[in-house]
Chain A
């Protein structure tokens, strides 16, 4: 079946932000800091902090407030904290002239020594006056404990390095102002989050801001919240009374778009000789970057909360720290703390299995929960043992048991359910328009919308026009992130559909799709949800090495509990795409900086986005344990980026014969251990 929705992506008629053009439109360019840490002595030319003395408000997934003195300035205020930080802005009617204007702005700096490593930062003088240390935020999860005479105590330091989300469409925004109202077209995961960001940063009334989603070419966490460039574009549009467009280059994306991961886990695991885990202690250190306002403050305690995974661990105590460095602010990237937590735990479980000489999967089964369990760190997990037993069966683990090159991972996905989501249905002229409060950036929400409207209202797909996000259409909404949309948006749509059905019945005494389509209707519904709704997953990877030491993945298998899949094909597509990102993080992807804070991996290729020829064919099987939601669905989008890295690292580790502690796997060390170099 080909719908019009599909066609525009294959015939060039989709409209991404950069495809939109208005008469009199200006292009915006940003002068960025070439230094990771410096005082600004003087700026000649361009629009600067003096003209726009604004600070970024803090919105988007996991964003927190309360660090006013460390809020990110929209344009640098006498100081820069990372390479790529916006310092000045220029504009012109011509894209190319903007590049010339950027060159014309003269900024003099007094460079300072940057701090790039979060552990070094912990030992260093505070970066900003008024701070006692470079810990921006810290929190303890669980309760301190002592286990005397534990037969086994294992310690290790594990690292997920910073990586870039790298959607193929970089960020972009187009702002227009009619003298009263600001209208913004944007590539985003959440028009409502972006609107809130504009209102707070520019001090605008909500009724005077409209945010419309353009076709969005991927986001993976990075397009959920407000950024300096968006605010600058809006401010210039308001001042000049002309539309202003800003389109990010890839170089800018790698430098100045909030990047993900960047976490260290220093773990200490207590166990007995049978492999039963007795306790877990550790420090979680998140490399939060140079300012507050990303997800850095949120993600350290979030990692700590879920670190016990699907296991019955009665004693746990974690010190979670967000630590300042001279990098762009850390932000969510597909998983956003979930992959880090699982990587730290799963690496320790494999270490334990090696220590006692048991099969790693048997150790996982032994420690799986046999009844609903709330861990000391706060993670709620259902009985996980029946699931891992099903996974072992469905993934045919017995075929792989004991082989070199095999890795297995087991995890809990904690989706961002709260506080729920909104949906709207409007019927007119025999067309059914649907909006969701959170906005798809490639996940094809139109597919589950079709399923739900077929199930609830018996409306065929041909009559449905799935709409992009628009704050004038949905009075409130949350966002598309944290594996939440089919669960929360789907449930909101079901409630809206049921309300609509009852309205048709009230008017006509009965319901039929014909009665619906012949009328004019409009319903909006917000589905409130304030609980966690976790799900389980497992991955199996089987890999070999080629003659040059390159990793060749022969099998990458997924087994995830997705509840009721609202569109099975789409769920599989999400899993396959996520697996590619999981492999990318493990083998190729990194934002690497030198000691001066300069980005070494400064192209999309160097930063490691995997090519078709470097990836295997992925296979997925679904576990269907319905959730209690109206949609019956469970989260899935982030499962592969949680499960694949741990399984793949283990697979490579058994080939290399040396313990692997970080992603991406250090290729040089790997080749040394394989005796290739």
Chain B
């Protein structure tokens, strides 16, 4: 047995600490250790993007990041997206309004990628949005409604004046 490594990171604003196998993938740490099953695994070659989370402000595919690589960093998953648990985030609302999913399996990854897109860019053209989504695969929708949802999400975010920032750490829980 390889010696476990101690990690300390912030997930959805909560400080987390754990001793993990060095080979443990971030996605499995989130899903199996923390029970955050909203992040999905769709492939094993970093192609599909179903496992996309925000790591220190950037969209990453959590199936290709080791949990130990997230040590000392901030992770945002679909469960922590909305600052208010009882309300949907404007991006989530846009995905519902535009019918941007059918089976829903790629949706968490799509939404987290949208978060990263909108954090960085404004008023993207349709072609730019499609390019920005090209790391996330959807097999059901043909993407049209997802592209529309990204456009609507930008309007929603602007209207509600919401900052696309990861929450700051609030408390320690082991």
Using CB atoms, name the residue of chain A closest to B146. Answer: A612
Using CB atoms, name the residue of chain B closest to A8. Answer: B104
State A2–B97 Cα separation when bound (angstroms). 8
- The stretch that binds A, out of B35-43, B54-62, B158-166, is B35-43
State A319–B129 Cα separation when bound (angstroms). 48
Instruction: Determine if A217 is an interface residue (Cβ-Cβ < 8 Å).
Output: yes
The listed residue (B21, B82, B105, B145) touching A218 by CB distance below 8 A is B105
State A95–B31 Cα separation when bound (angstroms). 12
Instruction: Determine if A157 is an interface residue (Cβ-Cβ < 8 Å).
Output: no
State A578–B99 Cα separation when bound (angstroms). 15
Of B32, B82, B126, chain A has the most CB atoms within 10 Å of the CB of: B32
- The stretch that binds B, out of A13-21, A301-309, A428-436, A648-656, is A13-21
Residues of A with C-beta under 8 A to B81 = 11
A35-71: which residues lie under 8 A (CB-CB) from chain B?
A: none
Using CB atoms, name the residue of chain B closest to A10. Answer: B92
Residues of A with C-beta under 8 A to B79 = 11-12
> Is the Cβ of B137 less than 8 Å from the Cβ of A9?
no
> Is the Cβ of A250 less than 8 Å from the Cβ of B43?
yes
Using CB atoms, name the residue of chain A closest to B142. Answer: A580
State A16–B82 Cα separation when bound (angstroms). 22
State A16–B169 Cα separation when bound (angstroms). 29
Residues of B with C-beta under 8 A to A603 = 43, 45, 47
Residues of A with C-beta under 8 A to B147 = 612, 617
> Is the Cβ of B141 less than 8 Å from the Cβ of A12?
no
> Is the Cβ of A569 less than 8 Å from the Cβ of B111?
no
Instruction: Determine if B151 is an interface residue (Cβ-Cβ < 8 Å).
Output: no
> Is the Cβ of B137 less than 8 Å from the Cβ of A613?
no
The listed residue (B36, B88, B97, B141) touching A573 by CB distance below 8 A is B141
State A169–B77 Cα separation when bound (angstroms). 18
Residues of B with C-beta under 8 A to A604 = 42-43, 45, 47-48, 137
- Binary contact track B25-53/A, C-beta < 8 Å → 1, others 0: 00010011000111111111101101000
The listed residue (A7, A15, A96, A251) touching B37 by CB distance below 8 A is A15
A2-B96, A615-B142 given as contacts; is B47 within 8 A of A605 (CB)? yes
A220-B139, A577-B140 given as contacts; is B134 within 8 A of A611 (CB)? yes
CB distance from B124 to the nearest CB of A (A): 12
> Is the Cβ of B101 less than 8 Å from the Cβ of A9?
yes
- The stretch that binds B, out of A233-241, A353-361, A440-448, is A440-448
Residues of B with C-beta under 8 A to A609 = 48, 137, 139
> Is the Cβ of B42 less than 8 Å from the Cβ of A618?
no
The listed residue (A14, A168, A570) touching B50 by CB distance below 8 A is A168
- Binary contact track A62-102/B, C-beta < 8 Å → 1, others 0: 00000000000000000000000000000000011000000
Using CB atoms, name the residue of chain A closest to B37. Answer: A19
Residues of A with C-beta under 8 A to B138 = 168, 612
Interface size classification for chain A: 35 or more
Instruction: Determine if B70 is an interface residue (Cβ-Cβ < 8 Å).
Output: no
Using CB atoms, name the residue of chain B closest to A574. Answer: B102
Instruction: Determine if B11 is an interface residue (Cβ-Cβ < 8 Å).
Output: no
State A605–B143 Cα separation when bound (angstroms). 16
Residues of A with C-beta under 8 A to B97 = 2
Q: How many residues on B have C-beta within 8 angstroms of the other chain's C-beta atoms?
A: 59
Using CB atoms, name the residue of chain B closest to A217. Answer: B105
> Is the Cβ of A166 less than 8 Å from the Cβ of B107?
no
A12-B36, A15-B37, A167-B103 given as contacts; is B139 within 8 A of A250 (CB)? no
Instruction: Determine if A216 is an interface residue (Cβ-Cβ < 8 Å).
Output: yes
Instruction: Determine if A579 is an interface residue (Cβ-Cβ < 8 Å).
Output: yes
> Is the Cβ of A577 less than 8 Å from the Cβ of B142?
yes
> Is the Cβ of A618 less than 8 Å from the Cβ of B144?
yes
Residues of B with C-beta under 8 A to A251 = 44-45
> Is the Cβ of B28 less than 8 Å from the Cβ of A10?
no
CB distance from B78 to the nearest CB of A (A): 4
A2-B93, A217-B103, A603-B47 given as contacts; is B142 within 8 A of A11 (CB)? no
Instruction: Determine if A196 is an interface residue (Cβ-Cβ < 8 Å).
Output: no
The listed residue (A11, A16, A577) touching B102 by CB distance below 8 A is A577
> Is the Cβ of B103 less than 8 Å from the Cβ of A216?
yes
Residues of B with C-beta under 8 A to A170 = 42
Instruction: Determine if A6 is an interface residue (Cβ-Cβ < 8 Å).
Output: yes
B65-81: which residues lie under 8 A (CB-CB) from chain A?
A: 77-79, 81
Instruction: Determine if B23 is an interface residue (Cβ-Cβ < 8 Å).
Output: yes
> Is the Cβ of B40 less than 8 Å from the Cβ of A10?
no
State A23–B23 Cα separation when bound (angstroms). 24
Instruction: Determine if B108 is an interface residue (Cβ-Cβ < 8 Å).
Output: yes
Of B40, B48, B88, B104, chain A has the most CB atoms within 10 Å of the CB of: B104
> Is the Cβ of A576 less than 8 Å from the Cβ of B38?
no
State A443–B101 Cα separation when bound (angstroms). 10
State A442–B141 Cα separation when bound (angstroms). 9
Instruction: Determine if B131 is an interface residue (Cβ-Cβ < 8 Å).
Output: yes
The listed residue (B96, B105, B131, B133) touching A6 by CB distance below 8 A is B96
Of B37, B103, B104, chain A has the most CB atoms within 10 Å of the CB of: B103
Using CB atoms, name the residue of chain A closest to B47. Answer: A605
List the 8 closest A-B pairs by CB distance, nearest first: A12-B38, A217-B105, A442-B103, A9-B104, A580-B142, A19-B37, A442-B102, A250-B43
Query: Which of B's residues lie within 8 Å of A, judged by CB?
Result: 21, 23-24, 28, 31-32, 36-45, 47-48, 50, 77-79, 81-82, 88, 92-93, 95-97, 99, 101-108, 111, 126-127, 129-131, 133-134, 136-147
* 12 pairs, A vs B, C-beta closer than 8 Å: A7-B96, A9-B107, A10-B95, A10-B108, A12-B108, A96-B23, A96-B24, A166-B139, A168-B139, A573-B99, A605-B47, A613-B134
Beyond A2-B97, A573-B102: 20 further Cβ-contacts under 8 Å? A10-B95, A10-B96, A10-B104, A11-B78, A13-B38, A16-B105, A95-B32, A168-B48, A217-B106, A218-B103, A250-B42, A250-B48, A442-B104, A569-B99, A579-B142, A604-B43, A609-B48, A612-B129, A615-B130, A618-B144
